[in-house]
């Protein structure tokens, strides 16, 4: 069966053709690519090395599209500053509360530190830290290398603001999923957050999002147990009312996730 011609090739309606041509502008920018890869815990360098080994034409296309280009320092700064500014009050409270109790103990992390992959392609002078390029001799399951990073105190030293911005971005994935009524997707994103930031400053927010996701998914027993633990640990948290609201909501009346 031979393929029909594309509409754009045979269409004579100029207005329709203009609409069809307009989508040609849809393309990932380097910034888009960096954001997505950071969100899924893949380093640009590591990904490229792997796909190059696979010798795929798609990889060539990706490389041609500018896969190796770095995000500009100014752009990264801007993103980090905006993200941190938006979360200063919350992060401050979280930082204080985490000194006294941990609601969701992070998994053990004993492996050698591996640099956050999302920053592997940043220019050396970037203020957000310049970890070494992803080493392909490293353990193969370095898709989420942050899961095996050194303790949080060490991880936080290079650039606390960048880490917080990364945390914000990671949690945003969960928020988006919840807003789209995809609780399973949100839980996947929250697991990813937890592995990347085992001692993250936004841990309580992640816990609240998880409670919301479990509730949306119908697992009210687990959500309730988690919520009770949270309220016992953080009775005066800004999130306390929200947790109570989630837990007291009638079945099937999951609340919309707050917008960013």
Partner 1 sequence: MIKNREAGNSAGVISEAQPALASAFLPEPSGAPMAALAPADDRRFRQMVGQNLDFIWRCLRRMGIASGDVDDAAQQVFLVAASKLAIITLGSERAFLFSTASRIAANARRSVHRRDEAHQHLTHRGQEDSPSQEELSDQLRARALMDTVLSEMPGELREVFVLFELEELPVADVAEVLSIPLGTVGSRLRRAREDFHDRVNRMKASGVSRGQR
What is each CA distance from 216 to 141, 157, 222, 256, in whole angstroms?
Answer: 31, 37, 12, 10
One DSSP character per residue, 165-219 reads HHHHHHHHHHHHHHHTT-HHHHHHHHHHHHHH-TT-TTHHHHHHHHHHHHHHTT-
Q: How far is the CB of 92 from partner 1 (least distance, A)?
A: 25
**Site residues (CB under 8 A) for partner 1, limited to 166-225:** 172-173, 176-177, 179-182, 184-185, 187-189, 191-192, 194-196, 214, 219, 222, 225
Q: What are phi and psi of 129, to 5 degrees?
A: 100, 145
What is each CA distance from 178 to 24, 119, 193, in whole angstroms?
Answer: 31, 27, 15
Residue 143 in the binding site for partner 1 (CB under 8 A): yes
Residue 88 in the binding site for partner 1 (CB under 8 A): no
Among the listed residues 12, 30, 33, 154, the single contact to partner 1 using CB under 8 A: 33
**Site residues (CB under 8 A) for partner 1, limited to 42-71:** 42, 46-48, 50-51, 53-54, 56, 58-59, 61-62, 65
Residue 4 in the binding site for partner 1 (CB under 8 A): yes
**Site residues (CB under 8 A) for partner 1, limited to 112-141:** 140-141
- Distance from CA of residue 201 to its chain's centroid? 14
- Distance from CA of residue 56 to its chain's centroid? 27
Residue 253 in the binding site for partner 1 (CB under 8 A): no
Residue 94 in the binding site for partner 1 (CB under 8 A): no
Residue 102 in the binding site for partner 1 (CB under 8 A): no
């Amino acid at each position: 069966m031979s393929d029909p011609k594309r509409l754009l090739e045979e269409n004579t309606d100029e207005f329709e053709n203009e609409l069809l041509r307009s989508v040609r502008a849809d393309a990932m920018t380097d910034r888009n690519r960096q954001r997505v890869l950071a969100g899924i815990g893949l380093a640009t360098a590591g990904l490229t090395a792997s796909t190059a080994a696979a010798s795929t034409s798609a990889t060539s296309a990706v490389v041609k599209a500018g896969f190796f280009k770095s995000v500009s320092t100014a752009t990264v700064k801007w993103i980090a500053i905006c993200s941190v500014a938006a979360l200063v009050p919350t992060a401050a409270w979280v930082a204080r509360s985490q000194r006294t109790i941990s609601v969701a103990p992070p998994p053990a992390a004993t492996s050698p530190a591996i640099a956050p992959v999302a920053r592997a392609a940043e220019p050396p002078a970037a203020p957000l830290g310049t970890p070494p390029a992803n080493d392909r001799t490293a353990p193969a399951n370095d898709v989420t290398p942050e899961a095996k990073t050194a303790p949080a105190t060490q991880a936080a030293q290079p650039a606390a603001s960048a880490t917080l911005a990364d945390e914000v971005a990671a949690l945003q994935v969960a928020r988006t999923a919840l807003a789209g009524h995809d609780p399973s997707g949100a839980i996947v994103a929250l697991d990813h957050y937890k592995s990347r930031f085992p001692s993250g400053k936004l841990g309580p927010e992640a816990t609240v999002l998880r409670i919301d996701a479990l509730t949306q998914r119908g697992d009210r027993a687990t959500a309730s147990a988690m919520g009770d633990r949270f309220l016992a640990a953080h009775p005066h948290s800004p999130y306390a009312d929200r947790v109570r609201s989630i837990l007291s909501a009638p079945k099937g009346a999951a609340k919309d996730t707050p917008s960013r």
